[in-house]
Structure 1
């Protein structure tokens, strides 16, 4: 049986190595990649967070929140990783802004590697600020590197069966027809947060609304994790 710890962290390390080579010219030093359930964030960068017990060397941390793996597209997980890698680049080769502030140097680097910084996560948002999201630039370096990565059948294999009810931006992950949040989600396939599709369990007929191309498993006692079917 595959060791889930080894598999999960090896996948994140493989993505880091790929983007380091393609977007940062291999300049970024190794760091300690962790999975942290930090509330209301997809990830964070913490410089020199860890020290080696014996030789006293230090290393940075890039944390990724696994709670969202099941409710955001794989593309968004990879964007989060690269977003934090841009912070690592700025720490080692640039001049970071005050704690928590995303300054112009960071924004320029993000845009150069194919991610447009935006405080709204959409076109037209501010490029700098305290809390920043981003979106992939069509045809940009990030998308080119990601297309290459995905041709290698890259995946994030382990998903939280009981993910958060809301995304970082506050939108529900999935709701039923009464607007109640529910669902045992498996894999999202789109960044579209505005459209909603109705899904129905083929066993108990429970219905939920969620983003297009979701896969949802029913948590009913008699449904044996049956996959919901799109019905509208």
Structure 2
């Protein structure tokens, strides 16, 4: 029997990567004076990592090399579009530092990187909230009110730009992260709400936790770390995780109030 699934009118690969390249070019011109070299943008589902930069990661048949900026598509539907653009620009700041500055060792975000981020309108913060540390291994950021990033983002998002394709199966913690971001609290800013809140068809297709779960449109997006009914835990122990620090989790009794010692975020339960 022939499939009755909707067939896209345009190639999803071409759409997705053309849109990401459009955003890269826009922010390069608006925030980096058009000085950043080309790079290869990829989609990677690194667990609890929204994106990363890898210098000279790819080589051509001629022996040329190019940097990689990886973005995690698992977050696209459930965090504000402004936040996805922040992730891209965050990694572009690393690319800038690789070519025009002095990168810190390993994953360390140093003072030069932090100053560059502030100059383009993003405040570095270990917690992703005001008051977090400006430098360190695990760093998030939030938009500076009236800053260059928000102005550049507004001009992009009010043009013909969009992201056309979204991961249908984000993790529950991705949904919770979308509630807690500073960008989700912005007033009157285009792209400050999650795409699932703006598009009913998308909300009906996205199922946090996997194919067997309810769509966002049915489960709702209320407060708390999960949009689903809790699963009975016969051991009376549950797993808590930090929504911002990859691979950081602990087991404990229900209803514990835990805070991450690295970034200051409140732990969620799975």
The structure in which a higher percent of residues are strand is: 1
Which residue of 73, 91, 101 corresponds with 1:84?
91
Q: Residues 148 and 103 from structure 1, CA distance in 2 versus in 1: closer, same or farther, beyond 3 angstroms?
A: same
Cα-to-partner distance string for 1:37-93 (whole Å, 9 max, x where unaligned) = 1111000000000011x2100000000001111111111100000000000000000
Rounded to whole Å, the distance in 2 between the matches of 1:80 and 1:104 is 19
Rounded to whole Å, the distance in 2 between the matches of 1:42 and 1:109 is 20
The alignment's C-alpha RMSD in Å is 2.9
Cα-to-partner distance string for 1:107-165 (whole Å, 9 max, x where unaligned) = 00000000000001111111000100000001100000001001213111101111122
1:191 aligns with 2:175: no
Unaligned runs of 5+ residues in structure 2 are 1-8, 186-193, 223-270
Q: How does 1:55-70 map to 2 (within 5 A)?
A: 55-70=62-77
Unaligned runs of 5+ residues in structure 1 are 175-187, 193-209
Which residue of 121, 134, 148 corresponds with 1:127?
134
Match for residue 42 of structure 1?
A: 50
Match for residue 31 of structure 1?
A: 39
Q: How does 1:107-118 map to 2 (within 5 A)?
A: 107-118=114-125
Would the aligned equivalents of 1:165 and 1:173 in 2 still touch at CA under 8 Å? Answer: no
- Deviation, 1:226, is 9.4
Q: Residues 30 and 231 from structure 1, CA distance in 2 versus in 1: closer, same or farther, beyond 3 angstroms?
A: closer
- Deviation, 1:99, is 0.3
Q: How does 1:148-187 map to 2 (within 5 A)?
A: 148-167=155-174, 171=176
- Deviation, 1:213, is 3.9
Match for residue 8 of structure 1?
A: 16
TM-score, normalised to structure 2, is 0.66
Q: Residues 231 and 30 from structure 1, CA distance in 2 versus in 1: closer, same or farther, beyond 3 angstroms?
A: closer
Runs of 4+ in 1 over 6 A off after TM superposition: 229-232
The structure in which a higher percent of residues are helix is: 2
Q: Matched residue of 1:166: which SS? A: helix
Rounded to whole Å, the distance in 1 between the matches of 2:113 and 2:29 is 19
Would the aligned equivalents of 2:122 and 2:142 in 1 still touch at CA under 8 Å? Answer: yes
TM-score, normalised to structure 1, is 0.76
Rounded to whole Å, the distance in 2 between the matches of 1:110 and 1:132 is 11
Cα-to-partner distance string for 1:153-182 (whole Å, 9 max, x where unaligned) = 311110111112213xx94669xxxxxxxx
Q: Residues 73 and 173 from structure 1, CA distance in 2 versus in 1: closer, same or farther, beyond 3 angstroms?
A: closer
Match for residue 217 of structure 1?
A: 204
